C-alpha cells in the first residue's frame, strides 16, 4: 500500500505542476499590466496607469463596443434559432435527421482559417463584403452548433410524458412549448446562450478575415497591436478579456456540468 500512496502523492503533485503550466503565463501577463516599466523591466513597481491609458485609446474602446454588441446579438439570435432546431430534432422523427445532426459538425471541426477565408470569398462575391453584418453572420453560424448540442443534451433529460399530459389536459402546441417544455430546458438554453456569447466574444480568426479598419473586434485590434510590438497597455486589455471570459465560463459551468451528471 505504501507504493500506492507514493504514486498517488506524485499524481497530485503532477496536477499542481500542470495547473502551474496552464496559469503561470496568464498570471505573469496580468502582473505585468500593473508594472510601471513600459519595457517590462523588473523590479516590480505598482501602477494602474496602463488601465487608465486604455480609456484614452479610442480605437480600442470602439472595438470593445463592437465586440460586445456583436456578442450580444449573436447570443440572442443563436439561442433562439438553436433552441428551435433542438426542439424539432427532439420532437420529430423524419428521414435525414441524422444528416442534419451531422451537419452541425463541420462548423466546429473545420479549422477557422478555412471557414473564415471561405466566408470572406463568399460574402465578397454576393456583395455583403466585410464589416459588421459579415462578422455577425459568421459568429452566429459558429455559435449555433454549440447551442444546439447543449440544449439537446438538456432535452435528453426531459420526460415527454409531461408534454402529452399537458396536451391531453387541453393545452395547444404553443402553450405546451412555452409553459411546459421551455421552463424545463431553460438551464440548457441559458448555458447555450453563455456558450454563444463566449464563442463570439473570444472569436479571433473569423473576425480577422471579415473585419475592416473601421469595423473590427477587440481580439482583431489586439492582434494588430501585438504585431506592432508589445506594450503594457495590451497586457491591461488582455487581462480584462481573460477575466471576463473566465468569469463567463464559471457562470456557464453553474448551469451546465461539463461531461458530468445531468
Residue (100 or 178) nearer to other proteins, CB: 100
* Nearest approach, Cβ of residue 62 and other proteins (Å): 18
CB nearer to other proteins: pick between 70 and 87: 87
Q: Long-range contacts: 194-197, Cβ < 8 Å, 24+?
A: 194/248, 194/249, 194/251, 194/252, 194/255, 195/143, 195/146, 195/147, 195/150, 195/252, 196/74, 196/75, 196/78, 196/79, 196/82, 196/143, 196/146, 196/147, 197/71, 197/72, 197/74, 197/75, 197/248
Taking the complex as a whole, the smallest distance from the CB of residue 58 to other proteins amounts, in Å, to 21
CB of 112 to other proteins, least distance (A): 7
Q: Which is nearer to other proteins, 40 or 65 (CB)?
A: 40
* Residues β-bridged to residue 35: 46
Distance CA 19, CA 62 (A): 35
User: Shortest Cβ distance from residue 195 to other proteins (Å)?
Assistant: 9
Q: Pick the closer one to other proteins by CB: 48 or 106.
A: 106
Amino acid at each position: 500500500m505504501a507504493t500506492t500512496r507514493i504514486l498517488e502523492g506524485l499524481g497530485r503533485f503532477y496536477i499542481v505542476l500542470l495547473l502551474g503550466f496552464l496559469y503561470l503565463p496568464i498570471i505573469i501577463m496580468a502582473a505585468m499590466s500593473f508594472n510601471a516599466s513600459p519595457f517590462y523591466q523588473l523590479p516590480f513597481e505598482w501602477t494602474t496607469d496602463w488601465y487608465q491609458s486604455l480609456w484614452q485609446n479610442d480605437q480600442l474602446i470602439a472595438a470593445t463596443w463592437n465586440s460586445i454588441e456583436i456578442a450580444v446579438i449573436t447570443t440572442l439570435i443563436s439561442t433562439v434559432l438553436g433552441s428551435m432546431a433542438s426542439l424539432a430534432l427532439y420532437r420529430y422523427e423524419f428521414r435525414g435527421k441524422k444528416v442534419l445532426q451531422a451537419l452541425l459538425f463541420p462548423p466546429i471541426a473545420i479549422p477557422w482559417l478555412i471557414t473564415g477565408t471561405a466566408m470572406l470569398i463568399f460574402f465578397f462575391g454576393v456583395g455583403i463584403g466585410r464589416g459588421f453584418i459579415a462578422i455577425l453572420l459568421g459568429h452566429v453560424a459558429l455559435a449555433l452548433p454549440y447551442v444546439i448540442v447543449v440544449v439537446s443534451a438538456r432535452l435528453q433529460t426531459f420526460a415527454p410524458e409531461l408534454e402529452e399530459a399537458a396536451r391531453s389536459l387541453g393545452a395547444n402546441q404553443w402553450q405546451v412549448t412555452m409553459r411546459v417544455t421551455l421552463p424545463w430546458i431553460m438551464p440548457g438554453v441559458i448555458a447555450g446562450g453563455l456558450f454563444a456569447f463566449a464563442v463570439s466574444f473570444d472569436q479571433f480568426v473569423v473576425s480577422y478575415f471579415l473585419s475592416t479598419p473601421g469595423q473590427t473586434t477587440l481580439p482583431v485590434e489586439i492582434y494588430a497591436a501585438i504585431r506592432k510590438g508589445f506594450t503594457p497597455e495590451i497586457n491591461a486589455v488582455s487581462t480584462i478579456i481573460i477575466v471576463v471570459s473566465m468569469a463567463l465560463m464559471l457562470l456557464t459551468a453553474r448551469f451546465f456540468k461539463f461531461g458530468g451528471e445531468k
